[in-house]
Protein backbone atom coordinates (compact mmCIF):
# COMPACT_ATOMS: atom_id res chain seq x y z
CA UNK A 1 0.00 0.00 0.00
CA UNK A 2 1.16 3.57 -0.72
CA UNK A 3 -0.97 6.39 0.72
CA UNK A 4 -3.83 3.91 1.09
CA UNK A 5 -3.55 2.80 -2.55
CA UNK A 6 -2.71 -0.79 -3.39
CA UNK A 7 0.46 -1.13 -5.43
CA UNK A 8 0.38 -4.30 -7.52
CA UNK A 9 3.45 -6.43 -8.03
CA UNK A 10 3.94 -8.26 -11.27
CA UNK A 11 3.90 -11.58 -9.39
CA UNK A 12 0.53 -10.84 -7.77
CA UNK A 13 -0.96 -9.85 -11.11
CA UNK A 14 0.45 -12.89 -12.90
CA UNK A 15 -0.92 -15.17 -10.17
CA UNK A 16 -4.37 -13.67 -10.68
CA UNK A 17 -4.13 -14.01 -14.45
CA UNK A 18 -2.86 -17.59 -14.47
CA UNK A 19 -5.31 -19.09 -11.95
CA UNK A 20 -8.05 -21.46 -13.12
CA UNK A 21 -10.57 -19.53 -15.21
CA UNK A 22 -13.60 -20.28 -13.01
CA UNK A 23 -11.80 -18.95 -9.92
CA UNK A 24 -10.71 -15.85 -11.82
CA UNK A 25 -14.22 -15.17 -13.15
CA UNK A 26 -15.80 -15.70 -9.72
CA UNK A 27 -13.35 -13.27 -8.14
CA UNK A 28 -13.82 -10.69 -10.89
CA UNK A 29 -17.62 -10.89 -10.69
CA UNK A 30 -17.47 -10.56 -6.87
CA UNK A 31 -15.34 -7.41 -7.15
CA UNK A 32 -17.59 -6.09 -9.90
CA UNK A 33 -20.76 -6.51 -7.82
CA UNK A 34 -19.18 -4.76 -4.83
CA UNK A 35 -18.60 -1.61 -6.89
CA UNK A 36 -21.11 -1.51 -9.74
CA UNK A 37 -24.55 -2.68 -10.74
CA UNK A 38 -23.52 -5.76 -12.77
CA UNK A 39 -26.45 -5.30 -15.15
CA UNK A 40 -25.61 -1.77 -16.26
CA UNK A 41 -23.19 -0.80 -19.01
CA UNK A 42 -21.87 2.70 -19.66
CA UNK A 43 -22.29 3.77 -23.29
CA UNK A 44 -19.84 6.07 -25.05
CA UNK A 45 -19.92 7.25 -28.66
CA UNK A 46 -16.71 7.95 -30.54
CA UNK A 47 -16.39 10.30 -33.50
CA UNK A 48 -13.30 10.79 -35.63
CA UNK A 49 -12.94 14.57 -35.80
CA UNK A 50 -9.81 14.41 -37.94
CA UNK A 51 -9.02 11.26 -39.88
CA UNK A 52 -5.83 9.89 -41.49
CA UNK A 53 -2.44 11.34 -42.33
CA UNK A 54 -1.02 10.82 -38.82
CA UNK A 55 2.74 11.28 -38.37
CA UNK A 56 3.02 8.45 -35.82
CA UNK A 57 3.86 4.88 -36.82
CA UNK A 58 1.52 2.76 -34.62
CA UNK A 59 1.72 -0.60 -36.38
CA UNK A 60 -1.97 -1.43 -35.84
CA UNK A 61 -3.34 1.82 -37.24
CA UNK A 62 -4.74 2.50 -40.69
CA UNK A 63 -4.49 6.25 -40.06
CA UNK A 64 -0.70 6.35 -39.94
CA UNK A 65 0.82 8.06 -42.97
CA UNK A 66 3.87 5.84 -42.41
CA UNK A 67 1.93 2.61 -42.87
CA UNK A 68 1.29 3.29 -46.55
CA UNK A 69 -2.44 3.47 -45.86
CA UNK A 70 -4.77 4.42 -48.71
CA UNK A 71 -6.86 6.42 -46.24
CA UNK A 72 -6.71 10.09 -47.24
CA UNK A 73 -6.13 12.75 -44.59
CA UNK A 74 -9.13 14.90 -43.71
CA UNK A 75 -9.26 18.33 -42.09
CA UNK A 76 -10.51 18.91 -38.55
CA UNK A 77 -14.33 18.76 -38.66
CA UNK A 78 -16.37 21.91 -38.21
CA UNK A 79 -17.69 22.41 -34.67
CA UNK A 80 -21.35 22.39 -35.74
CA UNK A 81 -20.94 19.05 -37.55
CA UNK A 82 -19.43 17.51 -34.39
CA UNK A 83 -22.23 18.86 -32.21
CA UNK A 84 -24.90 17.63 -34.59
CA UNK A 85 -23.42 14.11 -34.31
CA UNK A 86 -23.26 14.49 -30.52
CA UNK A 87 -26.98 15.34 -30.40
CA UNK A 88 -27.77 12.17 -32.35
CA UNK A 89 -25.56 10.12 -30.01
CA UNK A 90 -27.37 11.52 -26.98
CA UNK A 91 -30.75 10.65 -28.49
CA UNK A 92 -29.45 7.08 -29.03
CA UNK A 93 -28.57 6.73 -25.33
CA UNK A 94 -24.87 7.69 -25.17
CA UNK A 95 -23.89 9.61 -22.03
CA UNK A 96 -20.29 10.30 -23.03
CA UNK A 97 -19.10 11.77 -26.31
CA UNK A 98 -15.54 10.95 -27.34
CA UNK A 99 -13.77 12.91 -30.07
CA UNK A 100 -10.61 11.46 -31.63
CA UNK A 101 -8.06 13.11 -33.93
CA UNK A 102 -5.25 11.34 -35.80
CA UNK A 103 -2.43 13.57 -34.59
CA UNK A 104 0.92 13.31 -32.86
CA UNK A 105 -0.32 16.34 -30.90
CA UNK A 106 -2.75 19.21 -31.58
CA UNK A 107 -1.42 22.42 -33.15
CA UNK A 108 -2.08 25.87 -31.71
CA UNK A 109 -4.33 26.74 -34.67
CA UNK A 110 -6.67 23.84 -33.75
CA UNK A 111 -7.16 24.72 -30.10
CA UNK A 112 -9.99 27.22 -30.50
CA UNK A 113 -12.09 24.70 -32.44
CA UNK A 114 -11.32 21.93 -29.94
CA UNK A 115 -12.33 24.13 -27.01
CA UNK A 116 -15.61 25.01 -28.78
CA UNK A 117 -16.32 21.30 -29.33
CA UNK A 118 -15.85 20.51 -25.64
CA UNK A 119 -18.01 23.45 -24.57
CA UNK A 120 -20.71 22.43 -27.06
CA UNK A 121 -20.81 18.79 -25.90
CA UNK A 122 -20.98 19.90 -22.26
CA UNK A 123 -23.86 22.25 -23.10
CA UNK A 124 -25.77 19.19 -24.38
CA UNK A 125 -25.48 17.65 -20.91
CA UNK A 126 -23.07 14.93 -22.00
CA UNK A 127 -19.68 13.96 -20.60
CA UNK A 128 -16.89 14.96 -22.96
CA UNK A 129 -13.77 12.99 -23.86
CA UNK A 130 -10.98 13.68 -26.34
CA UNK A 131 -8.07 11.74 -27.75
CA UNK A 132 -5.66 14.03 -29.58
CA UNK A 133 -2.20 12.55 -28.94
CA UNK A 134 0.35 14.20 -26.68
CA UNK A 135 -0.58 17.45 -24.89
CA UNK A 136 1.55 20.18 -23.34
CA UNK A 137 0.57 21.96 -20.12
CA UNK A 138 -1.10 24.91 -21.81
CA UNK A 139 -3.24 22.65 -24.02
CA UNK A 140 -4.26 20.56 -21.00
CA UNK A 141 -5.32 23.67 -19.07
CA UNK A 142 -7.32 25.08 -21.98
CA UNK A 143 -9.21 21.85 -22.49
CA UNK A 144 -9.82 21.48 -18.75
CA UNK A 145 -11.12 25.03 -18.50
CA UNK A 146 -13.48 24.31 -21.38
CA UNK A 147 -14.93 21.49 -19.27
CA UNK A 148 -13.22 18.40 -20.70
CA UNK A 149 -14.13 15.47 -18.45
CA UNK A 150 -11.89 12.71 -19.83
CA UNK A 151 -8.75 12.43 -21.88
CA UNK A 152 -7.96 9.17 -23.65
CA UNK A 153 -4.36 8.20 -24.21
CA UNK A 154 -3.72 4.46 -24.34
CA UNK A 155 -0.46 2.90 -23.19
CA UNK A 156 -1.31 0.23 -25.81
CA UNK A 157 0.77 -2.64 -24.39
CA UNK A 158 3.61 -3.43 -21.97
CA UNK A 159 6.68 -1.24 -21.81
CA UNK A 160 8.72 -4.24 -23.01
CA UNK A 161 6.62 -4.91 -26.13
CA UNK A 162 5.87 -1.26 -26.91
CA UNK A 163 8.87 -0.66 -29.27
CA UNK A 164 7.65 -3.57 -31.43
CA UNK A 165 4.51 -1.56 -32.14
CA UNK A 166 5.46 2.13 -32.04
CA UNK A 167 8.82 3.83 -32.53
CA UNK A 168 7.89 7.49 -33.04
CA UNK A 169 7.08 8.19 -29.39
CA UNK A 170 8.09 6.34 -26.27
CA UNK A 171 6.20 4.57 -23.53
CA UNK A 172 7.39 7.24 -21.09
CA UNK A 173 6.04 10.00 -23.40
CA UNK A 174 2.64 8.38 -22.94
CA UNK A 175 2.96 8.17 -19.17
CA UNK A 176 4.03 11.85 -19.08
CA UNK A 177 0.87 12.88 -20.94
CA UNK A 178 -1.31 10.77 -18.64
CA UNK A 179 0.27 12.36 -15.55
CA UNK A 180 -0.10 15.87 -16.97
CA UNK A 181 -3.80 15.29 -17.67
CA UNK A 182 -4.50 13.79 -14.24
CA UNK A 183 -2.60 16.51 -12.39
CA UNK A 184 -4.76 19.11 -14.15
CA UNK A 185 -7.89 17.40 -12.81
CA UNK A 186 -9.10 15.74 -16.04
CA UNK A 187 -10.11 12.09 -15.66
CA UNK A 188 -7.89 9.62 -17.45
CA UNK A 189 -9.02 7.00 -19.95
CA UNK A 190 -6.20 4.60 -20.80
CA UNK A 191 -5.93 0.99 -21.85
CA UNK A 192 -4.49 -1.06 -24.64
CA UNK A 193 -4.84 -3.47 -27.52
CA UNK A 194 -4.61 -7.26 -27.25
CA UNK A 195 -3.58 -9.57 -30.06
CA UNK A 196 -0.66 -7.60 -31.50
CA UNK A 197 1.74 -10.51 -31.05
CA UNK A 198 2.46 -9.81 -27.39
CA UNK A 199 2.84 -12.51 -24.72
CA UNK A 200 0.38 -13.09 -21.88
CA UNK A 201 2.94 -11.51 -19.54
CA UNK A 202 2.91 -8.30 -21.59
CA UNK A 203 -0.83 -8.03 -21.09
CA UNK A 204 -0.40 -8.41 -17.35
CA UNK A 205 2.48 -5.90 -17.29
CA UNK A 206 0.27 -3.39 -19.10
CA UNK A 207 -2.40 -3.78 -16.41
CA UNK A 208 0.21 -3.38 -13.66
CA UNK A 209 1.34 -0.10 -15.27
CA UNK A 210 -2.25 1.18 -15.44
CA UNK A 211 -3.29 0.04 -11.95
CA UNK A 212 -0.15 1.52 -10.38
CA UNK A 213 -0.52 4.99 -11.88
CA UNK A 214 -0.94 7.57 -9.12
CA UNK A 215 -4.67 7.07 -9.69
CA UNK A 216 -5.88 4.15 -11.79
CA UNK A 217 -7.58 5.40 -14.98
CA UNK A 218 -11.27 6.10 -14.59
CA UNK A 219 -11.87 4.24 -17.85
CA UNK A 220 -9.81 1.34 -19.14
CA UNK A 221 -10.51 0.48 -22.78
CA UNK A 222 -9.42 -3.03 -23.71
CA UNK A 223 -9.32 -3.43 -27.48
CA UNK A 224 -9.03 -6.62 -29.52
CA UNK A 225 -6.84 -6.01 -32.56
CA UNK A 226 -8.87 -5.80 -35.74
CA UNK A 227 -6.09 -6.25 -38.31
CA UNK A 228 -6.33 -3.46 -40.87
CA UNK A 229 -5.20 -3.87 -44.47
CA UNK A 230 -1.94 -2.10 -45.33
CA UNK A 231 -0.68 -2.14 -41.74
CA UNK A 232 2.27 -4.21 -40.48
CA UNK A 233 -0.14 -6.24 -38.28
CA UNK A 234 -2.55 -7.03 -41.14
CA UNK A 235 -1.88 -10.78 -41.13
CA UNK A 236 -1.91 -11.53 -37.41
CA UNK A 237 -4.18 -14.30 -36.16
CA UNK A 238 -6.86 -13.23 -33.65
CA UNK A 239 -6.18 -13.58 -29.94
CA UNK A 240 -7.75 -16.60 -28.23
CA UNK A 241 -11.11 -15.42 -26.77
CA UNK A 242 -10.45 -16.97 -23.36
CA UNK A 243 -7.08 -15.20 -23.15
CA UNK A 244 -8.94 -11.96 -23.89
CA UNK A 245 -11.55 -12.62 -21.19
CA UNK A 246 -8.78 -13.29 -18.66
CA UNK A 247 -7.38 -9.81 -19.22
CA UNK A 248 -10.79 -8.21 -18.71
CA UNK A 249 -11.20 -10.12 -15.43
CA UNK A 250 -7.75 -9.16 -14.16
CA UNK A 251 -8.36 -5.52 -15.10
CA UNK A 252 -11.62 -5.58 -13.13
CA UNK A 253 -9.94 -7.00 -10.01
CA UNK A 254 -6.91 -4.70 -10.16
CA UNK A 255 -8.93 -1.56 -10.96
CA UNK A 256 -12.21 -2.19 -9.11
CA UNK A 257 -13.76 1.27 -9.50
CA UNK A 258 -12.73 1.86 -13.13
CA UNK A 259 -15.02 1.43 -16.09
CA UNK A 260 -13.48 -1.43 -18.05
CA UNK A 261 -14.48 -0.80 -21.64
CA UNK A 262 -14.94 -3.50 -24.22
CA UNK A 263 -13.68 -1.40 -27.12
CA UNK A 264 -12.56 -2.13 -30.69
CA UNK A 265 -13.00 -5.71 -31.82
CA UNK A 266 -16.58 -6.27 -30.66
CA UNK A 267 -17.79 -6.70 -34.24
CA UNK A 268 -15.48 -9.74 -34.48
CA UNK A 269 -16.72 -11.20 -31.16
CA UNK A 270 -19.60 -13.61 -30.73
CA UNK A 271 -22.46 -12.74 -28.38
CA UNK A 272 -21.12 -15.45 -26.09
CA UNK A 273 -17.66 -13.89 -25.94
CA UNK A 274 -19.11 -10.47 -25.18
CA UNK A 275 -21.33 -12.01 -22.48
CA UNK A 276 -18.25 -13.58 -20.88
CA UNK A 277 -16.48 -10.23 -20.98
CA UNK A 278 -19.42 -8.55 -19.22
CA UNK A 279 -19.42 -11.35 -16.63
CA UNK A 280 -15.67 -10.83 -16.18
CA UNK A 281 -16.32 -7.18 -15.31
CA UNK A 282 -16.47 -5.18 -18.53
CA UNK A 283 -19.06 -2.45 -17.97
CA UNK A 284 -18.62 0.02 -20.78
CA UNK A 285 -18.82 -0.11 -24.56
CA UNK A 286 -18.57 2.15 -27.55
CA UNK A 287 -21.88 2.29 -29.35
CA UNK A 288 -22.37 3.30 -33.00
CA UNK A 289 -21.40 1.44 -36.15
CA UNK A 290 -17.85 2.77 -36.55
CA UNK A 291 -14.91 3.32 -34.21
CA UNK A 292 -12.67 5.85 -35.92
CA UNK A 293 -11.94 3.72 -39.00
CA UNK A 294 -12.92 0.24 -37.70
CA UNK A 295 -16.29 -1.51 -37.74
CA UNK A 296 -18.42 -1.72 -34.59
CA UNK A 297 -21.77 -3.47 -34.00
CA UNK A 298 -24.80 -1.39 -35.00
CA UNK A 299 -27.07 0.04 -32.28
CA UNK A 300 -29.91 -2.44 -32.89
CA UNK A 301 -27.49 -5.38 -32.65
CA UNK A 302 -26.23 -4.06 -29.31
CA UNK A 303 -29.77 -3.54 -28.04
CA UNK A 304 -30.69 -7.11 -29.04
CA UNK A 305 -27.65 -8.39 -27.12
CA UNK A 306 -28.50 -6.22 -24.10
CA UNK A 307 -32.08 -7.59 -24.16
CA UNK A 308 -30.81 -11.18 -24.27
CA UNK A 309 -28.47 -10.56 -21.34
CA UNK A 310 -30.80 -8.30 -19.35
CA UNK A 311 -28.30 -5.43 -19.50
CA UNK A 312 -29.30 -1.77 -19.36
CA UNK A 313 -27.43 1.39 -20.34
CA UNK A 314 -25.83 3.10 -17.34
CA UNK A 315 -26.90 6.69 -16.71
CA UNK A 316 -24.26 9.24 -15.74
CA UNK A 317 -25.91 9.46 -12.26
CA UNK A 318 -25.49 5.67 -11.82
CA UNK A 319 -21.80 6.20 -12.36
CA UNK A 320 -21.63 8.70 -9.53
CA UNK A 321 -23.63 6.38 -7.24
CA UNK A 322 -21.16 3.57 -7.89
CA UNK A 323 -18.24 5.82 -7.08
CA UNK A 324 -19.86 6.89 -3.79
CA UNK A 325 -20.53 3.28 -2.90
CA UNK A 326 -16.94 2.37 -3.69
CA UNK A 327 -15.66 5.08 -1.40
CA UNK A 328 -17.84 3.89 1.49
CA UNK A 329 -16.94 0.24 1.23
CA UNK A 330 -13.78 -1.39 2.52
CA UNK A 331 -11.54 -2.96 -0.11
CA UNK A 332 -12.37 -6.52 -1.13
CA UNK A 333 -10.44 -8.92 1.11
CA UNK A 334 -8.35 -11.81 -0.14
CA UNK A 335 -7.50 -11.00 -3.71
CA UNK A 336 -5.11 -13.90 -3.84
CA UNK A 337 -5.93 -16.84 -6.11
CA UNK A 338 -8.23 -19.29 -4.35
CA UNK A 339 -6.26 -22.29 -5.57
CA UNK A 340 -2.63 -22.43 -6.61
CA UNK A 341 -2.11 -21.52 -10.27
CA UNK A 342 -1.86 -24.68 -12.30
CA UNK A 343 -2.78 -23.60 -15.79
CA UNK A 344 -0.67 -21.96 -18.41
CA UNK A 345 -2.60 -19.48 -20.48
CA UNK A 346 0.10 -19.30 -23.09
CA UNK A 347 -0.19 -23.05 -23.62
CA UNK A 348 -3.89 -22.61 -24.36
CA UNK A 349 -3.37 -19.93 -27.03
S1 LIG B 1 -3.10 5.28 -33.28
FE2 LIG B 1 -3.36 7.50 -33.20
S3 LIG B 1 -1.28 8.25 -32.98
FE4 LIG B 1 -1.08 6.14 -33.70
S5 LIG B 1 -0.97 6.32 -35.95
FE6 LIG B 1 -3.12 6.00 -35.42
S7 LIG B 1 -3.98 8.03 -35.28
FE8 LIG B 1 -1.77 8.27 -35.17
Tens-digit pLDDT profile for residues 104-161: 999 999 999 999 999 999 999 999 999 999 999 999 999 999 999 999 999 999 999 9
pLDDT at 320 over 70: no
The pLDDT value recorded for residue 48 is 92
The pLDDT value recorded for residue 347 is 36
Give the count of beta carbons closer than 10 Å to the beta carbon of residue 308: 10
Please report whether residue 341 resides in a domain. no
pLDDT at 345 over 50: no
Choice between 4 and 99, residue whose per-residue pLDDT is larger: 99
Please report whether residue 337 resides in a domain. no
Mean pLDDT for the stretch of residues 161-170: 96
Please report whether residue 54 resides in a domain. yes
Q: How far is the CA of 131 from the centre of ligand 1 (A)?
A: 10
Please report whether residue 349 resides in a domain. no
Tell me the helices (H) and strands (E) count for the chain, helix number first.
13, 12
Mean pLDDT for the stretch of residues 20-35: 98
Could you give the CA distance from residue 14 to residue 266 in angstroms, rounded to a whole number? 25
Please report whether residue 2 resides in a domain. no
- The tally of domains found in the chain comes to 1
Q: pTM value?
A: 0.88
- How high is the mean pLDDT of the chain? 88
Mean pLDDT for the stretch of residues 299-311: 91
Ligand 1 pocket, mutate which of 52, 62, 63 (most atoms under 8 A from CB) = 63
Which residues are known to be catalytic? 54, 58, 61, 98, 129, 189, 261
Could you give the CA distance from residue 192 to residue 158 in angstroms, rounded to a whole number? 9
Residue of the CA atom closest to atom 7 of ligand 1: 102
Mean pLDDT for the stretch of residues 279-295: 80
Q: Which atom of ligand 1 sits closest to the CA of residue 131?
A: 2
Confidence of residue 288 (pLDDT cuts 50, 70, 90): low
pLDDT at 312 over 80: yes
Residue 328, classified by CB atoms within 10 Å of its CB into exposed (0-12), middle (13-18) or buried (19+), is exposed
Mean pLDDT for the stretch of residues 169-189: 96
Mean pLDDT for the stretch of residues 290-302: 74
The pLDDT value recorded for residue 94 is 85
Ligand 1 pocket, mutate which of 133, 171, 221, 232 (most atoms under 8 A from CB) = 133
Q: How far is the CA of 232 from the centre of ligand 1 (A)?
A: 14
What pLDDT, in 10s, does the model give residues 50-97? 999 899 999 999 889 887 767 778 899 999 999 999 999 898 888 889
The pLDDT value recorded for residue 40 is 96
Please report whether residue 142 resides in a domain. yes
Could you give the CA distance from residue 104 to residue 45 in angstroms, rounded to a whole number? 22
The parent domain of residue 191 ranges over: 10-330
Q: How far is the CA of 103 from the centre of ligand 1 (A)?
A: 7
The pLDDT value recorded for residue 255 is 97
Nearest to 244 by CA among 226, 229, 258: 226
Binding-site residues from annotation for [2Fe-2S] cluster: 98, 129, 189, 261
Ligand 1 pocket, mutate which of 102, 130, 174 (most atoms under 8 A from CB) = 102
Q: How far is the CA of 64 from the centre of ligand 1 (A)?
A: 6
Q: How far is the CA of 83 from the centre of ligand 1 (A)?
A: 23
Please report whether residue 183 resides in a domain. yes
Q: Which residues approach ligand 1 with their CB closer than 6 A?
A: 54, 56, 58, 61, 63-64, 102, 133
Q: What percent of the chain has pLDDT over 70?
A: 87
Could you give the CA distance from residue 39 to residue 163 in angstroms, rounded to a whole number? 38
CA–CA distance from 168 to each of 55, 237, 267 (Å)?
8, 25, 29
Confidence of residue 340 (pLDDT cuts 50, 70, 90): very low
Please report whether residue 275 resides in a domain. yes
CA–CA distance from 331 to each of 1, 162, 278, 293, 325 (Å)?
12, 32, 21, 39, 11
The CATH number given to whatever domain includes residue 219 is 3.20.20.70
Most confident segment among 67-71, 222-226, 313-317: 222-226
Torsion sign across C-alpha atoms 322, 323, 324, 328: positive
Confidence of residue 223 (pLDDT cuts 50, 70, 90): very high
Binding-site residues from annotation for [4Fe-4S] cluster: 54, 58, 61
Residue of the CA atom closest to atom 4 of ligand 1: 58
Nearest to 19 by CA among 184, 146, 204, 255: 204
Amino acid sequence: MENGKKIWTREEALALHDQPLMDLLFQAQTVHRAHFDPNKVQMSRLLSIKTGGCAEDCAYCSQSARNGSKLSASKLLEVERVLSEARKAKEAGATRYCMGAAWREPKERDMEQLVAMVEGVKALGMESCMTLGMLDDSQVFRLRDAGLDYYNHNVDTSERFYPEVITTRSFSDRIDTLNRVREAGIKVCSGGILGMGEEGEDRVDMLVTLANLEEAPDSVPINMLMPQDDTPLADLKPIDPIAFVRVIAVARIMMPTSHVRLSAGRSDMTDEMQAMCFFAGANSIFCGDTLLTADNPEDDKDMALFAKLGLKPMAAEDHMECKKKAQQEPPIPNLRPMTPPNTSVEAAE
